[in-house]
Amino acid sequence: METHLDVSLNPRGVLRVVLNRPQRFNAFDEALIQALTAAFERAAADPAVRVIVLAGEGRHFCAGADIEWMQRAAALDAEANVADAARFAAMLASVADCPKPTLACVRGLALAGGVGLVCACDIAVAEPGAQFGVSEALLGLLPAVIAPYLINAVGLRAARMLGLSARRLDAAEALRYGLIHEVSESLADSEAAWIDQLLAGAPGAQGELKRLFAQWGPGPVTAERRAVGAQTLARTRQGDEAREGLAAFLAKRRAAWNKESK
């Protein structure tokens, strides 16, 4: 079965994951869902991977679910249908829970599940012509699987508006809502700049930061949170990464984990 996913790792530790179904606007089906999940799970466990870039081949990022896949899923019995939807949910979780920094680079359309992929990534940049839509209601469906990631990205009220109206956002609007972090005339230049910034951080610290922030989310600064924060800082500043980072700063050199581009 063809997976329609291109995965490549460069010497600096940048893993490019490219959806490659341009004739279908990079919509995902069973095979692509399985391949994406496996790619992010492998990357999570691979110390050679430092940063993951998620992009789409051709003119569009991702149009969400392939209609033929949705038709096949609808024909399944109830148990198989739930299992199929759970695999979609697991795919988004593999992106969101990955301990490596993730960067979505968006051109063209990002619709429905494609918006979910954008929201599951840590950072998202888009070309000015990009468009975003939570379009499930137009097909009589719900954005149920992408909802937690969408709400985390834009907030509950904006997520509700986007889901109810299926309104298309241009890149400037998506930036205002917090769906993306930058609008760039050159995705390649923005990608390179973000990669440099992300590679400058210590990989262990970045992974722990993601886990800690995922556990907390928005909320009051409780005594428990203060205690966990103090304990975490005390532990990490006695670690190897902190020693190397401080030594590199004092010596005015790059830290060992921050490889120069060739």
151-206 tens-digit pLDDT? 999 999 999 999 999 999 999 999 999 999 999 999 999 999 999 999 999 999 99
Query: CA 97 to CA 120: how far, in whole Å?
Result: 8
C-alpha dist (Å) from residue 35 to 39, 94, 232: 6, 11, 35
Query: CA 254 to CA 31: how far, in whole Å?
Result: 41
The pLDDT of residue 217 is 80
Q: What is the pLDDT of residues 68-113, one digit of tens each?
A: 988 888 888 999 999 999 999 999 999 999 999 999 999 999 999 9
Domain map (residue ranges) of the chain? 5-197, 202-251
The continuous run of DSSP H or E covering 185 comes out as none
pTM, two decimals, is 0.94
The pLDDT of residue 219 is 82
Beta strands 109-111 and 102-106: pairing type? unpaired
Rg (CA), the chain: 19
Superfamily of domain 5-197: 2-enoyl-CoA Hydratase; Chain A, domain 1 (3.90.226.10)
